[in-house]
Structure 1
Amino acid sequence: MVRNRVLTAVAGCCAALLLAACESESTAGSDGSAASGSPVAGGTLRAVEISEPRNLDPALLQNTLQGTALLGNALYGNLMVSDEKTGALQYRMATDFSTKDGGKTFTLKLKDGLKFSDGTALDAAAVKYNWDRLKDPKLGSDSQPYASVVKSTKVVDATTLEVTLTMATPLYGEQVVLSAMNWIASPAALKKGESSFDAHPVGAGPFTLKSWTRGGALDLVKNTSYYDAPKPYLDGITLTTSTDPQQRVNSLTSGGADLGVETDWEAVAKAKAAGLTVETVPSGGGRFLTLNTLRAPFKDVKARQAVSEAIDTDALNAAVYEGKAETASGLFPKASPYYNDVALHTYNKQAAQKLFDELAADGKPVSFTFTAFPTDKALAEAVQAQLSAYDNVTVKIQTVDWSESGKVFGQKQYDMLLSTAFFLDPEPALSSAFSGKSPRNATGIADPQLDAALAKGSSATTDEERAAAYRTVSERLAALDPAILVARTAQATVTKKVGGVVLDGSGSPLPADLWLAK
C-alpha cells in the first residue's frame, strides 16, 4: 500500500499559510502488508535505519530520516510534533510554544509532572540546560545552528520557559521539531560524561536502552513510566543499520524486518512493487548539490554557473536512481499556490565548456572535492563521471560517515556536498537553507535581494504576496547558482504489518504510536 500526503491548496481545507495535504490516498498492497484497526499491545518491532549513532547523546543524534530520528524519538520523546497532514504544531510533552510579538520571544509550557526514566523531573530547567548546551559549537551538534537562534532562556517556573531569539522567527517551533532541540535528556545523566551516558541514557521517551552492540543491534524496551499511557504499545524495538538501500528493502520483503526508513528512490520503487506499505512525504524543494560559496572555487559565480550548466540531472537520475527519482526544475510542485515556471538549473554542455575554458584562461581552472556521506557516494561518482567529459575541471571524492555530519556542516569544510531543503510550507525551510542570516545556510550565499524576498515570503499574509516573493527567490537562486536541484526528496517509511505509522518533521516515524499486527 502506498499512502502519499499530497500537496494541495484547497480553500477551507488547509490554513492560509500552510501548504499541505487535506487528505491521503491509499491503495492496498498485494500481500496485505498494512495493519489496520485498533492498536495491539505487545511484541518487539525490528527496524532498519540508515545510520548508526556515534553515541546516544541527543545533541549528537541527527533528527532526520536518514539520520537517527527514530532512535531519538524513542529514547527522548518529543516536546512537539508536526501534524502529518497539515504540518501544524501538535504538542506532546509541551502544551504550548507561542509568540505574541511576531517571533522575537516565545513561551514554552510543559505538561505537569513529567519525569525522566530515572525519576528526576523533566522541567523548564532541564529544557534550558539542553538548549543552552546545544549552542556550544565545541559539542559538534548538527542542531547547533538551530539552537544558536536562541539568544537567551529564562526559567519562569517548573513548567514555563521564556525564550528570546536573536532575530524574529515566527515559525521557530517548526525548527525545534526538526532539530535535536525536540529531545530533552536528564541534565544529571549528561553531566556524568559520554561513556556513562552511552551505557545509561536517560530521557523521557517511550523506550529505554536495554543493550547496544556497536556495529550490531541496539535493543530498546518499553518505558513503563512513560507519561502517555497506554502508549507505547510495543514491548520493545530492535534497531539495526544498513547503508545499502537494496539490503534494507530485502530485509522487509524476506521477513527479517518490520520497518525501514528509506531515502533511495530505487528502493522505494522496489518496496512499492513488492506490496509493502510505503508512507511518503511529497514536498517542494528537494535534494541539492550544494556549492560552498565561501571559498574557492565556488566563491566565483562563474565557476558555479559552469558546473551547473555542465550537469545533466536526467542522466544523474538514470545513473543513480534508475530513473525512479522525481526530478524537477523549480522549487515548487505544480499543485502549490506558490508554483512558478522559473528553472533553477539548465543543462547546456557547450556553454559549460566555454565557461570552464574562460576560467582556465584566467588562471582559475575548476578543481573541487565532493564530500559524500555513505548514501551519496553513487551520486558523487556520477557527478565525477559527468564532469570528467569536460576540460579544465577536476573532481575528487571524499567519503565521510553520517556521524561526522555535525562537524562537516558546522565548519563548512567542503566544496560540494548533497544537502536537503524540502518543505510542506516553504518557511522556515527556504530561509534556513538560503538566507544570508541563517546559520543553517550550507551554501554560504548572502544576497540582499534574495534575503529580502525570503523575508517577504515569511511575513506576507496572502498566497498572492507569497507567490510573488517566492518567484523572486527562484529568480535569484537561478542567477546565483548556489545549489543544483537534483531531484525531489524521497522520504519514506516502509513497513510490513505495522500499525500506527505517524510521520513527523522530516518524515520520521513516532515509535510511541507504532504497533504490530498479530
Structure 2
Amino acid sequence: MLQTAEPRSLDPAALSNTWAHHPVLGNALYGTLMINNVDTLETEYKMATGFSTEDDGTTFTLTLQPGLTFTDGTSLDAAAVKFNWDRLKDPALGSSSIRQASQIAHTEVIDPTTLRITLIAPNPHYGVSVFSSALNWIASPTALEKGRESFDQAPVGAGPFTLVSWTRQAKMELTKNPGYYEAPKPYLDGLTIQVVADSNTRLNSMITGGADLASETNMASIRKAEAAGLIGEIVPTGGGQMMAMNQRRAPFDDERARRAVSLALDLAIINSIVYEGENIFPNTLFDQQSPFYTDVPLNETDAEQAQQLFNELAQEGKPVNFNFVSYPTTESRTLAEAVQTQLSAFDNVDVNVEVVDATAAGARATDRDFDMIISSAVIQDPDYPLWNAFHSESKGNFVGTNDPELDAALDAGRLEISLEARKEAYNIVQERLVALTPGIFYTRAVPSVIYGDTVKGVVLYTLGSPLPENIWIN
C-alpha cells in the first residue's frame, strides 16, 4: 500500500486521518473506535459500541466493546481512551487533532467500558470530530509513557496489524495481529506501507504491479489509472483545498491584498497546469448534490480590478510581497509555481516559493508561520470542517479569520438539529467567506484510493481512510 506522507512519529498524535497523510497506517496499528458510511454519512461503530448525547451535545457517553486489549496485554478501556484524548489537548505534542480534542472540557471514567465527555460548548455533531481525527486511534498508555523514541520502535495499539520494522523515508513492514478483536479479520498476513509523495510515481507503481493499493490526490492520475484497468474509488465532498492566506500578518492582514490575489488568479488555468484540467473546480462551497447547496460563487477573476488594488496598496507603502510555503508533492510545487507565474504579470506584487518537507510544512501551518500555504476545508457534514477552519475560537483556524457574523453562523450551524435551520446558517457562512476571502478554493479535494481488480473488500470512511482489516487478495 502506498501513502503520500511520511509520519514524524508513530504516536497517534502525530498522525492525520485523511487521504493525503497516514490513514492506512493509523487504522492498521490502532484500529478504529467508529467510522462513517461515506454515502449516507451515518455513524457505524467498531471498537466503540455507542457515542450518544441526551443534552443536545453538552455531554456525550462513549461505550466500548468489553475485553479489548492492546498488543502489550494491557486493557483498551475507558481509562485508556481518557489518557489518549486528554493528552491530545497538549500543545507541546503539536498534534493536528488538537483542533478536535480542544473542544473537550473534561472526561470522566464511569466504568471500564464507559467514558463521559463534557464539551466546552455544546456540539450535537461532535461524533464527526472523533472518527475524522486521531481521537479515533487509541494507543497503549503504558507504551506512550515510555517516550517517543521507545514508542516509535515498538508502537502498541489494538489494531489489526503490528509493526515489524520502519525504515524512514522508505517503508514500514507490518504483520497480522493474532489477537485482533474482530477475528477472523484481518484477512491479510501482512502489509508493506511505502511513502510516495509524487502522484506520477504512485501511478506508475500501481500500473506496473509494484503496489496493490494507493491513496491518491489527483483526478488526472485516477483517470489514467482507470484507463489502465485499475479501480478508482472517490469519497464525495464539498469545499476543497485552498490557498490559505495568513491574516495575522502583512500583507494578508489587509483584506484588499487577499481580494487582489484572488481576483488576479485564473483558476481554470491553474487547474489545467496542476491537474491537466481533470480536477473539479469548486464554484460553490457545497456540491450541487448537497442539501446545503446554495449558488453563491466562491471566486471570480478580474485582472483590472486586481491591478487597481495592487496599485492602491503600493501607494500606501504596502506592496503585496509574500512567501508561498509549498509541500514537496508534485501538485503542491506546481501550484505554487503557477501562482508565482500568473502574478508575475501584475505590478506591485511579488511571490517567493519555499518548498519544505511535509513535516516542516505541517509545523509551519500549526505555528501560523506562513503567508500562503495549502490548507483545506473538505466537507462531508459542514460543522467539523467549517467551524474548525474559520471560527475565531478554533485551534484549527490557521488563517486567523475573526468575524463575529461568521462566528454566529458557524455556531448556529453547529447547534441546530433541523436541516432547514442548518441550511439557513450555512448560507450565511458561504456569504461571509466570499466577503472575507480567507483563502482561495482552487480544487475540490479528491479523497480516494486506486487499486487492482484482485484487491477486494476496500472500504473507505471519513476522508478517504481505508480499513486494512477488510482487505483481501483474490
1:387 to 331, 336, 343: 343
1:80, 1:91 within 8 Å by CA — same for their partners in 2? Answer: yes
Aligned counterpart, 1:174: 128
- 1:446 and 2:402 matched: yes
Using the alignment, how far apart are the partners of 1:498 and 1:73 within structure 2?
A: 18
| Residue aligned with 1:167, SS | coil
Do the aligned partners of 1:124 and 1:157 also contact (CA within 8 Å) in 2?
A: yes
How far is the alpha carbon of 1:85 from its aligned partner? 2.0
1:366, 1:305 → 2: CA distance? 11
Deviations 1:323-354 (A, max 9, x none): 01111211012222222221111110010000
What's the counterpart of residue 430 of structure 1?
Answer: 386
CA-CA distance at 1:406 after TM superposition: 4.6
Pick from 449, 465, 472: which aligns with 1:508? 465
* Equivalent-residue separation in structure 1 for 2:169 and 2:286 (angstroms): 39
2:79–2:112: 8 Å Cα contact kept in structure 1? yes
- 1:325-344 matched pairs, under 5 angstroms: 325-344=279-298
Cross-structure match for 2:85:
131
The question of 1:142 aligning with 2:96 is answered yes
Name 1:191's counterpart in structure 2: 145
Match of 1:262 in 2: 216
Alpha-carbon distance in 1 for matches of 2:419, 2:400: 28
1:402 Cα deviation from its structure 2 partner = 2.1
Gap regions ≥5 residues in structure 2? none
Does 1:165 find its partner at 2:122?
A: no
Q: Does 1:108 align with 2:65?
A: no
Alignment match, 2:356? 400
Q: 2:333 maps to what in 1?
A: 377
1:58 match = 12
Specify whether residues 136 and 395 from structure 1 end up closer, same or farther in structure 2 by C-alpha distance, changes over 3 A only: same
Deviations 1:43-94 (A, max 9, x none): xxxx111112222111111211111111010000011111132122111111
| Contact residue 84 and residue 135 of structure 2 kept, 8 A | yes
Counterpart secondary structure, 1:428: helix
Counterpart code for 1:495: Y
- Match for residue 260 of structure 2? 306
Partner letter of residue 414 of structure 1? F
Query: Are the equivalent residues in 2 in contact too, given 1:280–1:493 (CA < 8 A)?
Result: yes
The one-letter amino acid of 1:508's match is S
User: What is the TM-score of this pair, normalised by structure 1?
Assistant: 0.89
2:435 is equivalent to residue 479 of structure 1: yes
Match of 2:444 in 1: 488
In structure 2, the partner of 1:421 is 377
Distance 2:362 2:321 in 1: 25
Q: CA deviation at 1:311?
A: 0.9
Q: TM-score under structure 2 normalisation?
A: 0.97
**1:202 equivalent in alignment to 2:156:** yes
Unpaired stretches in structure 1, ≥5 consecutive residues: 1-46
Partner amino acid for 2:279? A
Q: CA 1:139 to 1:462, structure 2 compared with 1: closer, same or farther past 3 Å?
A: closer
Q: Partners of 2:402 and 2:186 in 1: how far apart?
A: 45
Residues 122 and 415 in structure 2, CA contact (< 8 A), matched pair in contact too = no
Question: Shift of the alpha carbon at 1:396?
Answer: 1.1
The residue that corresponds to 1:350 in the other structure is 304
Could you tell me whether the CA contact under 8 Å between 1:67 and 1:402 is conserved in 2?
no
Deviation string 1:158-214 (CA, Å, 9 cap, x unpaired) is 111111111112111111111111111111111111221111110000000111112
Instruction: Please list, as runs of the form range in 1=range in 2, the aligned pairs for 1:22-37 lying within 5 A after superposition.
Output: none
Specify the SS of the correspondent of 1:418. strand
SS of the equivalent of 2:290 reads coil
Partners of 2:446 and 2:109 lie apart in 1 by 40
Q: How many residues align?
A: 471
Cα offset, 1:484, TM superposition? 0.9
For the 8 Å contact 1:143–1:406, the answer to whether it is kept is no
Structure 2 counterpart of 1:294, from 229, 245, 248: 248
Q: Is 1:250 aligned to residue 200 of structure 2?
A: no
CA shift, 1:466, in A, is 3.0
Tell me, in whole angstroms, the C-alpha distance in 2 between the residues paired with 1:402 and 1:231.
32
What one-letter code is carried by the residue in structure 1 that aligns with 2:335? L
Q: Given that residues 326 and 361 in structure 2 are in contact (C-alpha distance below 8 angstroms), is that contact kept between their aligned partners in structure 1?
A: no
**What is the CA RMSD across the aligned residues, in angstroms?**
1.3
Residue type at the aligned position of 2:10: L
AA aligned to 1:433 is A
Whether the 8 Å CA contact 2:38–2:236 is kept in 1: the answer is no
Give 1:465 deviation, angstroms. Answer: 3.1
* In 2, Cα distance between equivalents of 1:460 and 1:163: 20
In the alignment, the residues of structure 1 paired with residue 170 and residue 68 of structure 2 have an alpha-carbon distance, to the nearest angstrom, of 32
Cα separation, 2, equivalents of 1:371 and 1:294: 16
Q: Distance in 2 between matches of 1:403 and 1:470?
A: 33
- What CA distance in whole angstroms lies between the structure 1 residues aligned with 2:362 and 2:241? 18
Work out the percentage of aligned pairs sharing the same amino acid.
Answer: 51
Letter in 1 for 2:380: L
Q: Which residue of 1 aligns with 2:318?
A: 364
Offset of 1:289 from its aligned partner? Answer: 1.0
Q: Matches of 2:417 and 2:52 in 1, distance apart?
A: 18
Residue identity opposite 1:319 in structure 2: I
Instruction: Return the alpha-carbon distance in structure 1 between the equivalents of residues 461 and 308 of structure 2.
Output: 46
C-alpha deviations, 1:278-321, integer Å up to 9, x for none? Answer: 11012111111111112211111111111110111101001111
Answer with 78-87 or 303-312: which moved more: 78-87
Alignment of 1:193-232 (within 5 A): 193-232=147-186
Deviation at 1:215, TM superposition (A): 2.1
